[in-house]
Chains A and B, each alone.
Chain A
């Protein structure tokens, strides 16, 4: 089945790989910094257990009989569409997080909320930018005024 290793999907495998790499890298870094017990008391046992658990999950998945469930093509397409929209929104969110201090809190928030509402399915063209503008104004004047730190703004 494309995109699957036995009954373990590639994205699941990617997650397990990320956890394993994190565990190995943090252990390597901690051991390189100091081999004293005080430094390794949590990181080493946790790292070893994590690797063992991940190996267990992968072996279990490889040994299990692969049940190839025939999915309805329409259902598959819907699932793929949901995942793509999720990723699009996550990408937009990443742009917002980086944009806050580079573009300015006001413009980054306004654009993110506007586009986010349109992605969410709002069809009226005038409401999303109006709501986004009012929401941004509320955040800047209300939430932002409570911050004890300077907040870069482009327009407001």
Chain B
């Protein structure tokens, strides 16, 4: 599986001098900051700093850009945990249990768990990539729109489990997001309504909508308190508790490994990536848990699953880039641009001819992940101080930052106005116990769902069932998804019935 000669050459490339590592720490810090600020995207950070790589050699450039990627994947989780505002779409599920933990005064542990899970997930993703880059590339080539439909529907099933007390509320919120994703031009080029607004031709911009619906509703809820963490004893940043949390992540191997595997596999599918991976991993760990009722209330397993999945998906997304030359998302598209900067093209020929470089990138990223553990622990002490800022100052400051973030993404008034419109919707939804996260999931996955279904129908000539029979991976995914959704409640109901029967028998 591993070419030992190329592997040893990779080590000498990486460790013969300090050059390749020179820009890794700045890259990780840039990623952490961009990931943590709502509205600043990881891909934006990579694009902004891409011209800087012009003066670097190829390996330095790749390690610098991937360190932004690695730092950003974790940075998005920091605001999700502390303020219930995901820094990016890949941290949506992190907020589900991370923020309740912070609200209970366990913000140190939650940040530590998130970092531990991120470090493990990213390391796992790159290890898998190192061992399986060639077979994974073969599998990725076999994935068509039908398989993607299965993956996306799997992500959508999470909607049914998110509800503010009533399943109907979760479904209405999720379907509302799905229908809003249908505004503007369809995937086949039909112009549906833009509500008279030319900015909506490409549909609603998801990230500003996510910032508005999460941030404003949460900030207005928080407004009644004095601080993010009410108790003054719990408000201090404890390095010992951060370390305890970091270690705690590794004491939950089930959630950690399951989240990492799901993240790496979904991350490898071009166009799907970490925003779906964290949702699927969260819902699967929740479904298979012995205590699903604890999820959403500060269950560390939920946080571990979400963070390990969004970090391991990074290794997965590199599969398509390195092995096939296909960017799986915006961040890997910037990496591909760095390839062309240095007159290189990713794909089978790159793996065959430049295997030592491929291994260097992978091993270098593993090293970065270990550095992330140190940089993360040190920076969390600073980032965690947000719990000491009075909410009377924090709320207007973060709201202003959200409006700026909306502009930073679109470059027009459409961004801040989208943030504002969704802020109102989010406030109203939260007021009546509708889960705003379900709307975000619908909005995130709606267009993808439509596009993949349409492509499946086109390829199958309008007969998707007969096409399904010819697609063993899609059948496998469908069986996995149906059993993952249906089996846990059936098994729980059966266990409950058996318990009642035993109690009944012992009464007699």
- Smallest distance from the beta carbon of B79 to chain A beta carbons, Å? 15
Residues of A within 8 A of B216 (CB): 90, 93
Contact B392 A120 (CB under 8 A): yes
Q: Would you call B48 and A22 a contact (CB within 8 A)?
A: no
- Chain B residues with CB under 8 Å of A33's CB are 186, 190-192
Are the C-beta atoms of B192 and A30 separated by less than 8 Å? yes
Q: By DSSP majority rule, is chain B's interface helix, strand, loop, or mixed?
A: helix
Asked if A120 and B223 sit within 8 Å, CB to CB, the answer is yes
Interface flag for B108 (CB, 8 Å): no
Complex interface: chain B residues within 8 A of A146 (CB): 40, 44, 48, 408
| Distance between Cα atoms of A18 and B172 in the complex (Å) | 12
Count chain B residues whose beta carbon lies closer than 8 angstroms to a beta carbon of A.
64
Contact with B along A11-33 (1 / 0, CB 8 A): 11011101100110110011001
A41 CB to closest chain B CB, in angstroms?
A: 5
Neighbouring A residues of B411 by C-beta, 8 Å: 147-149
Checking A50, A53, A85, A139 against B400 with a beta-carbon cut-off of 8 angstroms, the contacting residue is A139
Whether, in the assembled complex, B171 has its beta carbon less than 8 Å from a beta carbon of chain A, the answer is yes
CB distance A113 to B176 under 8 Å? no
- Establish whether residues B179 and A38, one from each chain, have CB atoms under 8 Å apart when the complex forms: no
Query: Are B178 and A22 in contact, CB atoms less than 8 angstroms apart?
Result: no
B393–A148 touching, CB < 8 Å: no
Q: Is the CB of A139 within 8 A of B401?
A: yes
Assess whether B172 is in contact with A109, with CB atoms less than 8 Å apart: no
Contact B400 A96 (CB under 8 A): yes
A42 and B450 within 8 A (CB) = yes
User: Do A42 and B449 form a contact, CB below 8 Å, given A49-B175, A54-B172?
Assistant: yes
Residue among A14, A90, A115 facing the most chain B CB atoms (10 A cut-off): A90
CB 8 Å contact bits of B429-462 with A (1 = contact, 0 = none): 1011010000000000010011001100110001
The answer to whether the Cβ of B193 comes within 8 Å of any Cβ in the partner chain is yes
Q: Is there a chain B Cβ closer than 8 Å to A125's Cβ?
A: no
Which of A15, A42, A82, A96 meets B446, CB within 8 Å?
A42
> Do A37 and B420 have beta carbons less than 8 Å apart?
no
- A12→B404 CA distance, assembly (Å): 30
User: Which of A42, A47, A90 meets B423, CB within 8 Å?
Assistant: A90
Q: At the interface, yes or no: A121 with Cβ under 8 Å from chain B?
A: yes
Which residues from chain A contact B188 at a C-beta distance below 8 Å?
36, 38-39
Contacts of B420 in A (CB 8 A): 93-94, 97-98
In the complex, 16 of the A-B residue pairs with CB atoms within 8 angstroms, ordered by the A residue number, are: A26-B179, A33-B191, A39-B188, A41-B457, A46-B175, A46-B182, A90-B427, A93-B216, A93-B403, A96-B403, A98-B416, A109-B404, A116-B396, A120-B390, A120-B392, A143-B37
Q: Which 5 A-B pairs have the closest CB atoms?
A: A116-B396, A120-B392, A29-B193, A149-B411, A97-B416
Q: Which residues of A contact B (CB under 8 A)?
A: 9, 11-12, 14-16, 18-19, 22-23, 25-26, 29-30, 33-34, 36-39, 41-43, 46-47, 49-50, 53-54, 56-57, 82, 85-86, 89-90, 93-94, 96-98, 100-101, 105, 109, 112-113, 115-117, 119-122, 131, 135, 139, 143-144, 146-149, 151
